[in-house]
Amino acid sequence: MTIPNSQPSQINGFGTRAVHVGSEPNAETGAVIPPISLSTTYKQDGVGNHKGYEYSRSGNPNRDALETTLASLEAGGAYAIAFSSGSATTATIVQAVGPNAHVLSVNDVYGGTFRYFKRVASETQGLESTFLDFENADDDAILAAFQPNTKLVWIESPTNPTLRVVDIPRIVSLARSQPSRPFVVVDNTFLSPFYQSPLLLGADVVIHSLTKYINGHSDVVMGAAILPPHHAALSQTLRFLQNAHGAIPSPYDCWLVQRGTKTLHLRMKAHGVNALQVAQALERSPWVDEVIYPGLPSHPRNTVAYRQLAPHAKRFVDGLQDGQEDQGGFPCATRLFTLAESLGGVESLAELPAQMTHATIPEAERAMLGIGDNLIRLSVGVEETEDLVRDVEQALEAAVAGGVKRKNGNAY
Ligand SMILES: Cc1ncc(COP(=O)(O)O)c(C=O)c1O
């Protein structure tokens, strides 16, 4: 039997659940923080008579604890399964739909997901894939892309790196009209459970690269899938596959992610405050062609992004717009916008997708997706707002003084 990690009725707020759920004081020692359980095997008092653990690939106390936390934080979630990476999570979900299936995916999907669909699952299990602009395609165009073997619909919103915003309930309702009953998967890595709750918008599965905001400290690679109460069978299949191929996270990594998760709500608020200020500063700059940030009114899907915010996040964002949010008191870091891949850590990062994270996507496809050579992706950390704003302004001035020219004559 598959036991849910979390009960659906949750009376406490997000931050309280982040700190407490899955992290109860140890019953034997009273330790407030769970110990790291490194044992790979567990004593049985008689054959099959054990305390819930036999062998650590199949289950481990730290993994269980983290899964309980994740199922509680992803609103509408009941089952959470932690994997060794976000990519392993994707691969396992694709395996779960079996041979010769078809996936209908948002076109601006994470590069590694694109690679897995097109270059791995196509070879190993005959997966067919179609990539569509879910943001702009009308209903007829999307309906025409479904096939009798469409078993998966893959959404990322906002997408990486061009931050397109998909109307999740619209895609869910189109998928529900299909006789093949595809599962709708939402990769919620970019907003985290703090800002967006896709299961409440009708999705069947939410996945995360925990490597990003949920862990938040750029020191663990991990992933997770979270499913609602009515998907016990699918969650059991995912667990079975995971145990069979062994893409499990280590106890120490689970412990670290659980520690990171305790401050997710604080960090996400700080990221939100800082990202808005940096985006506004960039928009004011004469040296920037375009700023793509769903929180700006200039973003074409700003209202959809707002509508899809989790209720507590909406209250927070409203406070930001009214200028009520206290912008002080967050930790101050000294490393600003390091040139590096990844995102979602406490430190600010900058990267060039065309040459770094998305270099494996063919140039012509990148051009179609709007990933130009001059696109810079910023992951805004939780350093002091004024320092970050000053940093991007100074960097722009320095680039201009250095005489680096764009094709259109502007400097970058
Ligand atoms: C949106 C998104 N999904 C999935 C992944 C894959 O996660 P991981 O790097 O943990 O395998 C990434 C990695 O950057 C990502 O950005």
pLDDT computed for residue 321 by the predictor: 60
Which atom of ligand 1 approaches the CA of 90 most closely?
Answer: 4
Q: Which of 212, 269, 366, 377 is catalytic?
A: 212
Mutate to test the pocket of ligand 1, among 163, 211, 220 (most ligand atoms within 8 A of CB): 211
Residue finishing a domain among 226, 261, 296: 261
Asked whether residue 103 falls in the same domain as residue 252, the answer is yes
What domain range includes position 284?
264-401
Look at the alpha carbons of 250, 256, 261, 264 in this order and tell me if their dihedral is positive or negative: negative
Q: Has 212 been annotated as catalytic? A: yes
Asked whether residue 250 falls in the same domain as residue 271, the answer is no
| CATH of residue 98 | 3.40.640.10
Mutate to test the pocket of ligand 1, among 93, 116, 117, 209 (most ligand atoms within 8 A of CB): 209
Q: Has 140 been annotated as catalytic? A: no
Residue 412 lies in a domain: no
Sheet holding 128-132, edge to edge: 79-83, 223-227, 205-209, 183-187, 150-156, 102-106, 128-132
Q: Tell whether ligand 1 has an atom less than 6 A from the beta carbon of residue 86.
A: yes
| CATH of residue 357 | 3.90.1150.10
User: Which residue has its alpha carbon closest to ligand 1 atom 2?
Assistant: 110
Residue 254 lies in a domain: yes
Mutate to test the pocket of ligand 1, among 117, 212, 215, 349 (most ligand atoms within 8 A of CB): 212
Cα distances (Å, whole numbers) of residue 157 to 182, 188, 313: 18, 7, 16
Asked whether residue 186 falls in the same domain as residue 228, the answer is yes
Residue 62 lies in a domain: yes
Q: State how many domains the chain has.
A: 2
CA–CA gap between residue 55 and residue 37 (Å, rounded): 12
66, 51 in Cβ contact below 8 A? Answer: no
355, 376 in Cβ contact below 8 A? Answer: no
CA of 210 to the centre of ligand 1 (A): 8
Asked whether residue 39 falls in the same domain as residue 132, the answer is yes
Asked whether residue 110 falls in the same domain as residue 236, the answer is yes
CA–CA gap between residue 313 and residue 75 (Å, rounded): 12
Asked whether residue 388 falls in the same domain as residue 245, the answer is no
Q: Tell whether ligand 1 has an atom less than 6 A from the beta carbon of residue 229.
A: no
Residue 239 lies in a domain: yes
Chunked into runs of 10 residues, the chain (412 residues) has average pLDDT values of 56 90 88 93 93 95 97 97 98 98 95 95 98 96 98 96 95 98 97 97 98 97 98 98 97 98 96 96 90 95 94 83 39 56 89 88 88 89 90 81 46 30
CA of 194 to the centre of ligand 1 (A): 18
> Which residues are registered as beta bridge partners of 49?
46
> Which residues are registered as beta bridge partners of 55?
41
Q: Tell whether ligand 1 has an atom less than 6 A from the beta carbon of residue 74.
A: no
CB atoms inside a 10 Å sphere around CB 396: 18
CA of 27 to the centre of ligand 1 (A): 36
User: Which residue has its alpha carbon closest to ligand 1 atom 12?
Assistant: 209
Residue 390 lies in a domain: yes
Q: Has 63 been annotated as catalytic? A: no
Asked whether residue 247 falls in the same domain as residue 320, the answer is no
Residue finishing a domain among 219, 239, 261: 261
Q: Tell whether ligand 1 has an atom less than 6 A from the beta carbon of residue 353.
A: no
CA–CA gap between residue 151 and residue 100 (Å, rounded): 10
Mutate to test the pocket of ligand 1, among 83, 87, 377 (most ligand atoms within 8 A of CB): 87
CA–CA gap between residue 31 and residue 18 (Å, rounded): 18
pLDDT computed for residue 325 by the predictor: 41
Asked whether residue 329 falls in the same domain as residue 234, the answer is no
Q: Which of 187, 253, 366, 377 is catalytic?
A: 187
Asked whether residue 47 falls in the same domain as residue 186, the answer is yes
Asked whether residue 291 falls in the same domain as residue 214, the answer is no
Q: Tell whether ligand 1 has an atom less than 6 A from the beta carbon of residue 85.
A: yes
Q: Which of 64, 79, 108, 110 is catalytic?
A: 110
Asked whether residue 306 falls in the same domain as residue 337, the answer is yes
Q: Tell whether ligand 1 has an atom less than 6 A from the beta carbon of residue 72.
A: no
Residue 2 lies in a domain: no
Q: Tell whether ligand 1 has an atom less than 6 A from the beta carbon of residue 345.
A: no
Residue finishing a domain among 211, 228, 261: 261
Asked whether residue 190 falls in the same domain as residue 334, the answer is no
Residue 333 lies in a domain: yes
pLDDT computed for residue 226 by the predictor: 98
Residue 350 lies in a domain: yes
Q: Tell whether ligand 1 has an atom less than 6 A from the beta carbon of residue 211.
A: yes
CA of 324 to the centre of ligand 1 (A): 33
